[in-house]
Amino acid sequence: MTIPKYFRPDMEQKLDGLSDLARDCSYSWVHGADEIWRELDAEFWAQTRNPWLVLQAISRARLEDLSQNEAFCEKLRTIVSAHRQALSEQRWFQTKKRQGIALRKIAYFSMEFGLSEALPIYSGGLGLLAGDHLKAANDLGLPLVGVGLLYQKGYFRQAFDADGNQIALYPSSETSDLPVCPVRINHGEWLRIQLLTPSRLWVRVWQAQIGRIKLYLLDSNDPANHPVDRCITAELYGGESEYRLSQEILLGIGGWQVLQALGITPEVCHLNEGHAALLVLERARHFMNAHRVDFATALTVTRAGNLFTTHTSVEAGFDRFSPELIKNSLGLYAKALNIDLDTLLALGRNPGDNNPAAPFNMACLAIRGSAAVNGVSRLHAEVSRNIFLPLFPGWPKYEIPVTHVTNGVHVPAWDSMEADELWTNLCGKNRWFCDPDHLAAQFRHVKDHDLWNLRAQNRSRLVQFVRDEYSRELNVHSTLSDTELEDLVLRLFDPNVLTIGFARRFATYKRPNLLLTDPERLARLLTDPHRPVQLVVSGKAHPADLPGQRLIKAWHQFIRRPEIRERAIFLSDYDMITAEYLVQGVDLWINTPRRPWEACGTSGMKILVNGGLNLSELDGWWAEAYRPEVGWALNGHEAEHTDAQQADMLYGLLENEIVPAFYRRNDSGIPERWVAKMRESMTTLTPYFSANRMVREYTDRFYLSLADQYQRRAANGARSGRDLARWLSRLNDLWPKIHVAHVEIENSESVYSFRLQVYLGDLTAEDVKVELFAEPTYGDADNIYEMRIDHELPGAVNGFVYSVEIPAKRPISDYTPRIIPSHPDVSVPTEAQPILWVK
C-alpha cells in the first residue's frame, strides 16, 4: 500500500517510502526508524509498537505538517535510502563461493514467528527463534521464504485478578491493523487454495515482509468455509487434538501448495519442529504427480532436501494423534498418495509397533521424511539421540543421526540504542553481516567506563519502564490520588541497584520458583540496606497448565509483602516489548531449568550484547557457553542434588559472589571484577550465540549440501532417485538372508585379529560394510574399524571372508563385528536402518 490517494503529489513525494517502512518488519529493530514513528504519534507508538497501525491512525493534517518539516523529511529520506540500498546490495550469501550448487530457494516452515509486537503470531521461544532466523537470513542475503499461519487471536494475553490468579484473554486482531497484505496472483485476485480434507477447506494467503524475505501466512477465516473451519487459525496452541491436527495440515500440506501456486519449488525445506511434518508427504505427492513415480520413490527423492530441527527434550512433548483422528482427517489424503492407511500410520510410529492404537507421532514422520535432523544445542542433541533411539533399532545411541546447531539470537533486534552505538564504534555498522569470528578482537578493547556507562543507561531505562507499567496497573486497580500514586511509583526500584531478571514460560520443569524456595532468605537479599537487590519477574503459564499458574500466584503473594513491594515486581503479559526492556536493562539473568530439559533457551543470549551476565543451570546453551570468566553456573548434575540443595547453591552464589562483585567499586566507582566479566561475556559469547553464526552454520552444513543432494536425485527424470528407491527396497527385502557362519579371533600382545565368514545371500559386497565396533571412550577416536574382504568363500554365492587387524589398545571384549548397509548416495542409518551384530 502506498500513501493514501488524497495526498497531493508534492506531499507524496516528500513522504516517499513511509508506508514501505511501516509494512516492513525488518524496520521493527532499527533504532533510527523508531524516531519516525515517535514523530508521527509518540503515545500511540509507545502503546502499540506497530508502525503500520500508527500510519493508519494518523490524521491527514498531521501528515501534511510533517511533509513540511524539513528535518523530518530528511531523516525519512536517509532511512528510506538505506532501506532500498539494503534490499539490492550483495550480502554474505551472494558473495559466497558455492562450487556450482544452485541453491535458489529455501522454505522455512514454523507454527509461530516472533517478528515484532506488531504481528502477534508467536507464543515464546520457538517463535522468537523462527523470527530471528528470518531476520538473520535477510541480513545475510539468503534466498529464503517463511511459511506460517495468520491467527485471528494469536496466543493468549495475560491479566491477573485481585488474588494473583492468571486470566487468559483473547483479543482479536484486525488484519487491516497488521503489517500484512493479501497475496494476489494473475489479474489481481486473492490467492486461495482448497485442501483435500473432508470439509474441502479453503485457505487464504497473506504476506509479511522482512527486508528481502517474504513470509507467507495461511488463514482459514474464509467466508466460504464452515464456521468451525474458519476458527482453525483463531488461536495459537489452542483447542484439542483435532484442532491442532487441522492447523498442522494447514501448515504442512497447505503451506507447500501455496508455494506451488506461487511458482516456488524450494530445493530445501526446513521444518522448525514437528508441527510442519505433513509437508514431507505433500512435497512427495507433488513430486509423484510431476514425475509419474510411486510414493516410495518420491519420498526418497524429496527427503534429500528436507531438514528437521527438533526443540523438544522429552518424548511426550511431540504432537501425537490417535489413529482414528488420522483416518478421519487424512484418509482421503492417503488415497491421493496411493498408499493405504496402515502405510501412512507406519510413517509416524516406531518400527515394529503393531499396536493398532499406537498414536501417530509427528516427530517420527519428520525424521523419516528428512535427510538431516538437528537439535538446538550440544546437550539437546545427546538427549534427542536417546529419545529417537527406538526409530533406529539395533543402532548404538552414539550413531543415532541427530547432530546439533546451537541456537542464536538476532542481535540487532535485541540491543539497546547505547549498545548499538558502542558496538558500532568498535566493530563497524555491518558487524552482524560479516564473519562473527572477527568481532572479538575488535570489541575486546572497550574501556571499563564505557561498559559501566552502558549498564547504567540500560538499567535506568528498565527502571522507568517498570515504573510506567506499575503506574498503569495502579491506575486500573487503585483509588489513590494522583499525588499518592506518583509517590508510590517513584519509590519503586532504584536505577543504581543491582537488577535481576527472570522471565520465561512458567512450566514446572523450568523451576521458575527455585529462587522462591526460601522466601525469607530471598527477602533478606532484596532488602539489604547496604547492598540491595531488585527483581523483575515475568512470564505466562499455558491456560491448561494449572501447576504453572500456581507458580505465578506464589510470586504474586511474595511480591505483595510490604517490605518487598519496592524491590520486586511481576510484569504481566510477557511479550516482545517487555522482553526488549528486560534483556537490555537487567544486570543479571537467572535461568533454573531442570537439566537436561531445556533444549537450548535463548533469553539469556539476548542480554549478552547489552552487557548483562548470566547465572544459569548448566543446561541448554549455557552448558556450552559457561566459563567462570563470563558468568555463574549452578551445578548441573540433577541426580546429586535436590531442588532445595540447588536453591541453597543459588542463594549462596548471590550472597557470597554476585552481589559483592557488583557493589565492590574502585576509586572511580566501577566494579572492576563485574566489568571484567561483562567484557569477556560480550566479547566471546555475543558473536557466537548470534543468529548470524547460526544461519551461516545451517547454510554451510545443511542448506547447500541438501540442495545438491536433492538436485542429483531429481535430475534426469529422477533417474538417480528411482535407482536409490529400488536399492532401498531390495536391501530391506534381502537383508534377513545375511548370516555369519564362523568367527575367528586371535589375541596377541599388541594386535587383535578378527576373521568372519559372511554369506550375503542375494546382496553384493558393494551393498554392505563389515566393521569392528567398540563404544567410543573419551579421547579415543578409533572406535570403528572397517573389515576388508580377504577372499571369496569357495562354492558360495556372495560369500566372503572379512578380516582386520587392530592395535590392542583396549580389552578385546570391547569389540563386536557388525554388518551395515553401504551405498555412496545413501545416508546410513538415516535412510537405511538395517544392522546385524555378530555375537
- Assign 3-class secondary structure to 469-493: HHHHHHHHHCCCCHHHHHHHHHCCC
What pLDDT does residue 100 have?
64
Domain presence at residue 723? no
Say yes or no: 68 and 189 in one domain: no
Grid cell, residue 659, equals: 552481589
For 545, residues 6+ apart whose C-beta sits below 8 A from its C-beta are 506, 507
What pLDDT does residue 614 have?
98
Say yes or no: 195 and 235 in one domain: yes
For 751, residues 6+ apart whose C-beta sits below 8 A from its C-beta are 805, 806, 807, 808
Q: What is the DSSP string of 534-547?
A: EEEEE----TT-HH
**Residue 635 contacts residue 653 (beta carbons within 8 Å):** no
Say yes or no: 80 and 121 in one domain: no
What pLDDT does residue 9 have?
73
Residues in the chain, overall count: 839
CA 476 to chain centre: 36
Structural domain tally of the chain?
A: 4
Distance CA 398, CA 518 (A): 41
What pLDDT does residue 99 have?
61
**Residue 566 contacts residue 493 (beta carbons within 8 Å):** yes
For 744, residues 6+ apart whose C-beta sits below 8 A from its C-beta are 753, 754, 755, 756
Which one of 41, 66, 88 terminates a domain? 88
Domain presence at residue 773? yes
Phi-psi region of 381 (alpha: psi -120 to 50; beta: other; left: phi over 0): alpha
What pLDDT does residue 106 have?
98
**Residue 774 half-sphere exposure, CB side, CA atoms within 13 Å?**
18
**Residue 772 contacts residue 806 (beta carbons within 8 Å):** yes
Which one of 88, 106, 122 terminates a domain? 88
Domain presence at residue 184? yes
Instruction: State residue 685 phi and psi, 5-degree precision.
Output: -95, -40
State pTM to two decimals: 0.95
What pLDDT does residue 830 have?
96
Distance CA 817, CA 833 (A): 17
Say yes or no: 706 and 742 in one domain: no
Q: What is the DSSP letter of 777?
A: B
**Residue 357 contacts residue 368 (beta carbons within 8 Å):** no
Distance CA 837, CA 829 (A): 14
Cis-peptide, bond into residue 351, ω within 30° of zero: no
Say yes or no: 746 and 790 in one domain: yes
DSSP β-bridge partners for residue 403: 374
Say yes or no: 756 and 791 in one domain: yes
For 163, counting Cβ atoms within 10 Å of its Cβ (0-12 exposed, 13-18 middle, 19+ buried), the class is exposed
**Residue 107 contacts residue 269 (beta carbons within 8 Å):** yes
580: domain CATH number is 3.40.50.2000
Domain presence at residue 617? yes
Say yes or no: 83 and 99 in one domain: no
Phi-psi region of 495 (alpha: psi -120 to 50; beta: other; left: phi over 0): alpha
776: domain CATH number is 2.60.40
Domain presence at residue 103? yes
What pLDDT does residue 5 have?
47
Say yes or no: 452 and 595 in one domain: yes
Q: Which domain range does residue 228 map to?
A: 92-154+167-407+700-713
Distance CA 800, CA 788 (A): 10
Query: Chunked in runs of 10, what are the mean pLDDT values of the chain (839 residues)?
Result: 55 88 86 89 90 91 91 93 90 79 92 95 95 96 97 94 93 92 92 91 96 97 94 93 96 98 97 97 97 97 98 91 96 95 95 91 98 98 96 96 98 95 92 84 94 97 94 73 78 95 94 96 96 97 95 96 94 95 97 94 97 97 97 74 91 97 97 98 96 96 96 96 97 96 91 96 97 87 91 94 94 95 96 96
Cα separations (Å) of 255 from 109, 260, 280, 321?
8, 9, 11, 20
**Residue 651 contacts residue 658 (beta carbons within 8 Å):** no
Say yes or no: 612 and 753 in one domain: no
Say yes or no: 124 and 58 in one domain: no
**Residue 498 half-sphere exposure, CB side, CA atoms within 13 Å?**
24
Which one of 53, 88, 123 terminates a domain? 88
Say yes or no: 101 and 247 in one domain: yes
Domain presence at residue 423? no
What pLDDT does residue 681 have?
97
> 279-291 and 704-734 are packed helices; what angle lies between their axes, rounded to 10 degrees?
80
Domain presence at residue 694? no
Find the Cα–Cα–Cα–Cα dihedral 16, 20, 21, 22, rounded to 10°.
Answer: 110
Phi-psi region of 487 (alpha: psi -120 to 50; beta: other; left: phi over 0): alpha
User: In one letter, which amino acid is 807?
Assistant: P
For 87, counting Cβ atoms within 10 Å of its Cβ (0-12 exposed, 13-18 middle, 19+ buried), the class is middle
Residue for grid cell 563404544: 775
Domain presence at residue 372? yes
**Residue 635 contacts residue 649 (beta carbons within 8 Å):** yes
Grid cell, residue 18, equals: 513511509
Cα separations (Å) of 132 from 255, 413, 616, 695?
20, 8, 22, 10
Say yes or no: 478 and 617 in one domain: yes
3-class secondary structure for 229-242? Answer: HHCCCCECCCCCHH
**Residue 182 half-sphere exposure, CB side, CA atoms within 13 Å?**
12
Distance CA 514, CA 547 (A): 14
